[in-house]
Amino acid sequence: MLSVNRTVLLLLLLFPGMLLAGGVYQEPEDFLAEVFNGEVPEAQVIWLTGPRKEVVTQLLGHRYPSLRVRYWRQGQRTAWILEEIGKTEPITTGFIINEGRIDTVKVLVFRESRGWEIRHSFFTDQFDQARLNEQRQLDRTIDGISGATLSVRALKKLAAMALYLDQQARQRDA
Amino acid sequence: MDNRTSPIASLTAAALLSVSLSATAGDLPSREEMWKIIQQQQKQIEALQKDAQTSTVRIEEANQKATAAVEVAEQSQKSVSSAAAWASKTQLGGYGELHYNNLDSKDEIDLHRVVLLLNHQFTDDVRFVSEIEFEHDGDEVEVEQAYVEFDLNQQTSAKAGVFLMPVGILNETHEPATFYGVERNPVETDIIPTTWWAGGAALGGQIGESGFSYDVAVHEGLKTDISNGYKVRKGRQKSSKADANNLASTARIKWTGMPGVELAATVQYQDDITQGTDDSAGEAWLFEAHAQIERGPLALRALYAYWDLDGDGPEAIGADEQSGFYVEPSYKFSLFDQKLGIFGRYNQWDNQAGNGEVDSEKKQYTAGVNYWPIPDVVLKFDMRQQDNEGEQSNDNGWNLGVGYQF
C-alpha cells in the first residue's frame, strides 16, 4: 500500500503533465496595446552605435545583444521593451518613459526559477517617476529582494538603459 | 525755378545714352547664345535633381540593406545552426571561494568550493537546472542540483530531480557575495545541514499579489543513527543510492510582500529518520523560521531552527532536541561604485539540547567585514570567539576569504 509521502510524490510527478503556461505574464504586443490604448504608434529604431553603444555597455556592464532597439513614441511618451539576464535567463521588461521619467515598469516574461517577486507592483512601484541623474544612475535607492539580488540588479540596469535611450531618442527627434 | 529741359540738352543726353548702349551691347552674348546658355543650365539643374533623387534612393537602400544585414546577423546568431540554437538556450555560470582559516583547530588554506552551474531552457516553460560542486580542491565532487522545472501557470511551477531544500536563509542562496562571514554560520551548518539537497518532487507557487509564496516537496529523507549521535548533518544521503524506505515531506511559506523584507517558516516531517535501521529512533520534525530585513544600508538577519527526534535512542543522549538561532545585524557603505560592509553575529546552537544534564550548548560571537570591489566579487575577513559549555573546547581565531560568482 502506498504511503502518504509516496502518494504525494506520485501526484507531484504527474503535475507537469498539465498544460504549461507560465513565465509569460503579458505578450509585448499586448503591453503596447494596453499602454497606448489600442493605438500603437509605428515603431521607430535607435541604433546602438558610437558613444551610445559605449554608454549602454557601461550601464549594463556588457554589450547589449542587438545593434538597434525598437521603440514606440506618442507625444512625450516612449515605450521600450528590453531584455537583460537575471541569473541565467533573460527577463523581458516593458518600460514607459514620460518626459524623461519612468511612468510604467512591467515584467512581461520571467524565465528563472527564483526572483519572481520583481514582477509585483510592490517592487516595480519603486521605479515610479525615477529619472537619471548626471552620473546616469537612477536618482533613488531601489530596495532589493532577498534571494533575488540578480533579478533586481537586472531590472535596475534596464530602467537606466530605458531612460538613457529615451533621452537619446528625444534629442534626435527634436 | 524752370524745370523745362532745353532741346540742346536733350540731344546731348540721347547721344551719350546711345554711345553707352552700343558699348555694353558689344560685351553681352547674343539672344541665341543666351538661350543656349539657359538650356545648358536647365540640363545641369535637371541632372543635379536626378543625382539628388538617386542619392536619396541610394541612402534609403543602404539603410534598408544595413537593417536587413543586422536582422540577418541577429537571426543567424539565434538559428544559424542547431549548435547555435542549443547554445543560445544553455547557460553556464558558477561561483567559488578560497578560505584561509587561522583557528585553534586548524591553520590552513582551503579551496573550499568551486561550483559550475549548467542550465538549459527547453522552452519558456520548461528548464533544466544543475549545480556541480568541487569541494576542497576536488576531494569531493557533488551534484547538488539536477532537476527539471515546469511552469504550470503564471503562479505555479513544479520540479522533479535533485534540488535544494526550501529551508533557512543560506541553503538556497549561498553564493559567497550574498552573505557575511568567510565560513557559513554554524546554525545553518549543524542544525540546518546546509548545503542540503535531496531527490524528489516539489510544487511551488505564489499566492496572488499578496507577496506570499509556498513550496511543498516530497523527497529522500535523512538517514542517521546512534553511531553519529543522531546528528542531522551526518544524515544527508546526497541522492547517492539514497535509502528511500522512509521519504520526508517539507513545506515552506514565505512572505516577500515588501521590498527588502523576507519572512519565512519551514516544517519538515519524516516518519523514520534512521530509515528503519535503528528501532530506538523514529519520527523527526524540523521547524524553522527566519527574517531578513534590508533597509538602505542597514540589514538584519535572524533565524531559529529546532529538531524534534522521537525515540529512546535520541533521548538517551539528548539528541531528541537539536536547536539553534542567530542574529546578524550589518551595515553597508558605498565607496563610489564599490561596497564595504561590516557585520556582527551571535550564534547559539546545541545538537544535544534534550538533555539538560549534558553541557553541550555552543555560543559563538562573530564580527567582520566584506568588501565588494565589484558586485560579483567579495573579499572577506572575520574574527570569532566561542564560549562553549562544559568540557567542549573553544575554536577561536580569524578567517580570510575571497569569493566570486558569474
All three cell numbers of B162: 535533485
Mean pLDDT of B142-168: 93
Confidence of residue B396 (pLDDT cuts 50, 70, 90): very high
Q: What is the pLDDT of residues B194-215, one digit of tens each?
A: 999 999 999 999 888 888 999 9
CA gap A64, B403 in Å, rounded: 27
User: Could you say which residues from 55 to 74 on chain A have a Cβ atom under 8 Å away from some Cβ of chain B?
Assistant: 65-68
CA gap B306, B267 in Å, rounded: 10
**To the nearest whole number, what is the mean pLDDT of chain B?**
89
Least trusted range by pLDDT, from A9-13, B106-110, B177-181, B276-280: A9-13
B223: pLDDT strictly greater than 60: yes
Give the residue among A127, A110, A111 at the shortest CA–CA distance from A119.
A110
Query: Which residue of B67, B158, B209 is in closest CB contact with A16?
Result: B158
ipTM over 0.85 threshold: no
Confidence of residue B1 (pLDDT cuts 50, 70, 90): very low
On chain B, the residues whose CB falls within 8 A of the CB of A16 are 148, 150, 152, 158, 160
Specify the pLDDT at position B13: 53
Specify the pLDDT at position B391: 85
The residue extents of the domains of chain A are: 22-173
Mean pLDDT of B324-333: 97
Q: Which of B88, B119, B124 to mutate to test the interface with A (most CBs of A within 10 A)?
A: B124
Contacts (Cβ under 8 Å, ≥6 apart) of A151:
A86, A87, A91, A110, A112, A114, A115, A117, A118, A145
Contacts (Cβ under 8 Å, ≥6 apart) of A154:
A84, A85, A86, A91
User: Could you say which residues from 76 to 135 on chain A have a Cβ atom under 8 Å away from some Cβ of chain B?
Assistant: 85, 87-89, 109, 111, 113-114, 116-117, 120-123, 126
Q: Which residue of B has its CA nearest to A12?
A: B201
CA gap B120, B91 in Å, rounded: 6
All three cell numbers of B401: 576569504
Q: What's the CA dihedral at A14, A16, A20, A21 to 10 degrees?
A: 100
Q: What is the pLDDT of residues B41-96, one digit of tens each?
A: 999 998 898 888 888 777 777 777 777 777 776 666 655 566 767 777 888 999 99
CA gap B164, B184 in Å, rounded: 16
User: Could you say which residues from 286 to 305 on chain B have a Cβ atom under 8 Å away from some Cβ of chain A?
Assistant: 292, 294-296
Q: How many CA atoms does the CB half-sphere of B87 hold within 13 Å?
A: 9
Task: Record the pTM.
Answer: 0.78
Check whether domain B94-405 has CATH 2.40.160.10, yes or no? yes
Give how far Cα A152 sits from Cα of A146, B255, B331, Å: 10, 17, 20
Specify the pLDDT at position A25: 84
Specify the pLDDT at position B211: 86
Mean pLDDT of B1-16: 49
On chain A, the residues whose CB falls within 8 A of the CB of B158 are 12, 15-16
pLDDT along chain A (174 residues), means of 10: 65 57 79 94 93 94 90 95 88 95 94 83 93 92 84 95 95 79
CA gap B165, A54 in Å, rounded: 42
All three cell numbers of A81: 521593451
The answer to whether the Cβ–Cβ distance between A146 and B117 falls below 8 Å is: no
Specify the pLDDT at position B217: 97
Min Cα–Cα distance to chain B from A22, Å: 4
Specify the pLDDT at position B31: 83
Provide the percentage of residues in chain B whose pLDDT is more than 70.
91
Specify the pLDDT at position B196: 97
B11: pLDDT strictly greater than 70: no
Encode A65-78: b = buried (16+ Cβ within 10 Å), e = exposed.
ebbbbebbbeeebb
The residue extents of the domains of chain B are: 31-88, 94-405
Task: Locate the DSSP E strands across B42-125.
Answer: 90-103, 107-121
On chain B, the residues whose CB falls within 8 A of the CB of A105 are none
